Chains A and B, each alone.
Chain A
Amino acid sequence: MYSYASPTNAPATYPFLRAIDAIHPEHEASRDVMSRAAMALQSDLDRYGYTLDVVTDVQVFTDIVSSVGKFVPNAFDPKMKPARPGDIFGLVLRDAEGKVAATNGCRLYRLGVTTLADHLATLALFYANPVEQMARGERLSIDGPANDYAMTVDDKAIWVGCFWVRPDLRKAGSNASYVLPFAARFLGAAWWGRLITFSIVESWARKQVAQKRLGEPDVYEHIRWFRPHIPDRTDMVLMVTEPDVPVERCHKYLRGEGRFFVGAPNQTERVVSAGD
């Protein structure tokens, strides 16, 4: 029997665990490992008195993201690109004092019969009605490997965004920059099944260090997004993680890799037995 018993000063509620609900049938084969990884994550959060809130009201989530000074992309802007209820969530990590420590969010895109490349090139990914909502002169061009890949993505895909970690928790301060994207992709997989997750980020993400921090996604060039109001930030890349990555991360987490820590990694406890 495995145990995820928490220290007595643990928070009283477990919003993240509660939000998982029934794991999507496409992950049926991985249900055990996903459940146990979620419990292990919850146990780690408890150890530091942290809570992981799941916010399904997009306006509440974007207010939190804005309050920390992070730019809110249109994917999470209900005025620009409204989402159906149940197709979007935000994660808010709070420290023991209740202060926001990190944020990350996911949105399910229902692409239909057209592809991700089509939705990007027409700006439909960012605007409900591009020609009426986009900035005058705004354009997006996609070609090369990014286009080749995005042309293969249809039906559904998950956008990951609004990623922010409080400065004191970056680098050696904690590994929230690994755990939050892991938790976001985990919950996306549990809710919506085996789908790719993607985001469009500025091309600095090509750097190896940044890729590692974000969990080694696949990076595809070239996207040029011309926005008249920010003319010096046009070079973008498509970052993708494949559908089984969240499950692989669950296995790693249970092996003790990437366990949540604040301050210094806790090497002493392994809550899951060998053979995971």
Chain B
Amino acid sequence: MTFSMIEVRTRWIGEEGRDASPMDLFGKVNDPIAHFVLHTLGWIRVNYFGQTYEVSLDPRSVRTAAVESFVAWMKEMHADATRPWLVKISAFTGRDWISVTDTAPEGIIAFLDRILEFGKPAAVPETLQVRQCPLDRAAGFGVEAVNTVIERWKAKGQGLPIDDPSVRALLATAKSGCTVKILSRDNIGRIVFGTYTPSLTTLWSRDSWGRFLGAPVGEVVPDRALGSAVELSARRVMETGRATVETWEGPVLSSTGIIADLAWDRLTLPLTSHEPNDAVLVVTHRLTPVDTDRLAS
């Protein structure tokens, strides 16, 4: 009988997209450590021998930089037509592993796209509908100070300071028509209220918004689902550095426990407090009941 030995090597792609090793973290590797770096830290594991690769990742935790690095590596490998390769990629769904095997990057990338979509948290609660609008829709708010802030932001590029005169002017003048708030990231990464200037049509009672200052949005807004959506939206604008105008529509739970179907426009504009884009200015305009006839039709 003839035996052959194959040496299987392991490569880890860390959260920053570079080669990493659990040995560097713990001085050893065992099953729980491998589980931790794969599922908690979001690394990608590549077991390989020759040109055969077995790739494992957890879409719930894998980092974008790690995925980009893996895809770039695969494309680079594919460019060398003289060395055919085979990849079996496995993704953990939270219950089980699903996998595909391919010899070209396209199939693997399509699989990755699908599986990573599953891992993403919902952008907003399903009950709230959000539609993106062009930035110039904010002119329709009819508040001159809003237009001034947008112009200042465009002129300044990425660095409109949180205490810019145009921002202060908006906070001072917007009391009747719009709700204006500044949300910022605190020292442990939470999104908290910096200022809150209610409009006449605000949903929240004075008792409710009186508690907003300095408090985490997701905790203090009486409608928690709305609070989470506002928080996610603020994080998105902080990450991209792009101002957005959106139309939001859906049921909202007021301070008094009444659920109302409402629609409103919303400008979210990145500001700079301590570092670029670590705060956002949010202007909410026209909190009106949803046209139920239109919905029915």
Contacts and interface: CB of A to CB of B under 8 A. Distances in A.
Interface of A: 1-6, 12-15, 17-18, 20-23, 25-26, 28-31, 33, 35, 38-39, 42, 155, 190, 194, 242-244, 247-248, 251
A5 B188 contact: no
A17 B61 contact: no
B206 to A, nearest CB: 17
Contacts of A14: 30, 32-33, 36
Nearest to B186: A244
22 contacts: A3-B24, A3-B27, A4-B25, A4-B26, A6-B26, A12-B30, A14-B30, A14-B32, A14-B33, A17-B32, A17-B40, A20-B39, A21-B40, A23-B61, A26-B218, A29-B185, A29-B190, A31-B42, A31-B61, A38-B36, A244-B188, A247-B189
Nearest to B59: A22
Contacts of A29: 185, 189-190, 235
A20 B26 CA distance: 16
B64 to A, nearest CB: 12
A22 to B, nearest CB: 4
B216 A244 contact: yes
**6 interchain residue pairs of minimum CB distance:** A5-B27, A18-B32, A25-B121, A22-B60, A29-B189, A14-B32
Contacts of B218: 26, 194
Nearest to B191: A29
A3 B25 contact: yes
B207 to A, nearest CB: 12
Contacts of A248: 188
B33 A20 contact: no
Nearest to B222: A152
B106 interface: no
B131 interface: no
B33 A28 contact: no
Contacts of A247: 188-189
B224 interface: yes
Nearest to A194: B218
Contacts of B25: 2-5, 39
A17 to B, nearest CB: 4
Contact of B32 (A4, A13, A28, A33): A13
B14 to A, nearest CB: 10
Contacts of B219: 194, 242-244
B203 to A, nearest CB: 17
A146 to B, nearest CB: 19
A243 B28 CA distance: 34
Given A6-B27, A14-B32, A20 B40 contact: yes
Nearest to A247: B188
Contacts of B60: 22, 25
B58 interface: yes
B39 A22 contact: yes
A247 B33 CA distance: 22
A155 B36 contact: no
B242 interface: no
Contact of B26 (A5, A21, A22): A5
Contacts of B190: 29, 244
Interface string B30-57: 1111011001111000000000000000
Interface in B119-156: 121
A267 to B, nearest CB: 22
B22 to A, nearest CB: 10
A17 B27 contact: no
Contacts of B121: 25-26, 28
Contact of B33 (A1, A17, A251): A17
Interface string B240-279: 0000000000000000000000000000000000000000
A247 B24 CA distance: 25
A26 B189 CA distance: 12
B188 A20 contact: no
